[in-house]
Amino acid sequence: MGLPVMDFDAVLKKCGNFGRFQFLIMLCFGLTNLLSSMHYFAQTIISFTPQHWCYHEKLSNASFDEIRAVYAQMANPHCTLLDDIVGGQPIVAEVGKCQRWIYEYESGYKSVTSDLNWVCEESIQSAVGQSLFFVGSVIGTVFFGFLADKVGRLPALICTTLTGATGDFLTTFSTNLPLYALFRFISGLSTDTFYYLMYIMVFEYLSPRKRTLGLNMVTGIFYFLGLALAPWFALWSGSWRNYLYIASVPAVIVLLYPFLICESAQWLMATHQYDRAVKCLKHVAKINKREVKDEVFDEYIAHFKQTTSDELAKKANKDTFWGMFRTPRLRKFTIMMLLKNMFLALALDVISRNMEGMGSSPFILFSATSVVYVMGSLTIILLQNRIGRKGMAFSTLLVSSIIIAATGFLIAFTETQKNALLLAIMVGLGRYGVVVSYEAEAQYSSEFIPTTVRGRGMANIHVAGFAFTSLNSYVIYLGYFYKPLPSIFISGIMLIAALLCLALPETMNQKLPQTLKDGEEFARHQRWYYFICFDKNKNTKEAEGNNG
């Protein structure tokens, strides 16, 4: 008689699915979150533009209050060239434009916009560099996602992390737009890929019942630390170049990862590298101080082969992300996931970057409101396993839509300087809502996408998000026509995303799909109005489920 049937979750449980190895891999995930947050939002930190005015020799020794008083008489105080100043009255030059500026640096910090004088008519240059960053992210996400499914999660993770760090490091040598755009493109190649590749590895090695707690707690704490500290690192360093050194050099720590953790055993099994998969599982058992007999691994491999026909096994190696569009149900769900991630990525980016002109320091506002990442993670930990993945996604998107709309109208009818605290609170609430929605979406997508294409699937979903994120500057620019427009626009797309959730299946307590065929049949019995929190049989399903 053989041993009881062994699937991956059962074998992992014997090896330890929430022990020392899991704490080790979550520590690596935490460090990756720290690096990821400082890398992704470096574009924001280095581009904050200080208060500035056209230089005039009569203002060379004037205080900033005196300078403000002179230029306050201008319709366009920051970019108006003066011919003379007589008795405190400015005389506007009839021809010419500013060639030199007076900057009011915050704590002496020189951003790329002030260092290279990319202000007024030249402000478009910083935007060009930012757009090249997102072009790089689209290309890099596709490439490293493909690499992750071909050579493994760990090698791809190391390559993408070092690529992004190299781009940030090279950016410090920029002295003109072509160099800056090129190096921001290189930096963008790794944007977010090293985060979600590490996310996948932690997801696959964690106990199904601990995924929500582990993934969201680590993300909330370490991503928050990166975001909260980044502005202070910038102010302490004194310049955008020094900040990029701080953000890029520590990335070499990923070279230690292969000595601490191992490759995804699920990916190794899906690609039929059985010996390597067993070696990884034995390593997990050793770190967790578990005794697991060889017969357990033999039974697992036998079970895997038995449940996968020869034809399907060959097809599994040929599964591609585009195969998710070949069958009707999987195609519908995939398109909805793509749209949801596009809307969420744009919303998160706009809310997080739009920190200037709120009546307070953008550095302090960015740092202070970053606490919402911890609050968001705690919200998900408390609620996601109670109301389900679908219920969490739908409710957070709907509530986020309402919060952002309300925030926009409060900003429109509030005097920024006198109500800086109120605006900071509302900006924080808006950011909180989007963060909860975005983090909930990450686990939802990971559970829905079949194992054989999980790396490429999440990569391409992120590509769509980054492609849409390239519109962030245009969305923010809508505020020049009417202040609440950016918030109204973001609120609208969040509402659409919430409605899309109704047609998606619940993944909690379901057997997660391994192949594209599994994905097509996944949760076929569910109705669009099904929410697990209203299911009377929830407890029974939870006991039987594999991803609770």
- Mean local confidence (pLDDT), 155-183: 94
Question: Token pair for residue 261?
Answer: 């953790």
> Is 110 among the domain residues?
no
Residue 242, pLDDT above cutoff 90: yes
Residue 352, pLDDT above cutoff 70: yes
User: Quick one: 366 and 488 in the same domain?
Assistant: yes
Question: Which of 21-25, 334-338, 358-362, 485-489 holds the top average pLDDT?
Answer: 21-25
User: Quick one: 194 and 306 in the same domain?
Assistant: yes
Domain boundary residue, one of 290, 316, 342: 316
Predicted local confidence at residue 442, as pLDDT: 72
User: Quick one: 361 and 282 in the same domain?
Assistant: no
Q: What is the pLDDT of residues 115-154, one digit of tens each?
A: 999 888 787 787 777 778 888 888 887 788 789 888 999 9
User: Quick one: 498 and 543 in the same domain?
Assistant: yes
- Tally of CB atoms within 10 A around 87: 4
pTM: 0.76
Predicted local confidence at residue 536, as pLDDT: 57
Predicted local confidence at residue 34, as pLDDT: 92
Amino acid at 175: T
> Is 116 among the domain residues?
no
Q: How many domains does the chain have?
A: 3
Residue 309, φ and ψ in degrees, nearest 5: -65, 160
Residue 498, pLDDT above cutoff 80: yes
What is the extent of the structural domain holding 100?
51-104
Question: Residue 162, SS3?
Answer: helix
Question: Token pair for residue 427?
Answer: 């900006």
Domain boundary residue, one of 272, 290, 316: 316
Question: Token pair for residue 37?
Answer: 């947050």
User: Quick one: 332 and 454 in the same domain?
Assistant: yes
User: Quick one: 68 and 207 in the same domain?
Assistant: no
User: Quick one: 326 and 305 in the same domain?
Assistant: no
DSSP string, 403-462: HHHHHHHHHHTS-TTTTHHHHHHHHHHHHHHHHHHHHHHHHHHHHHS-GGGHHHHHHHHH
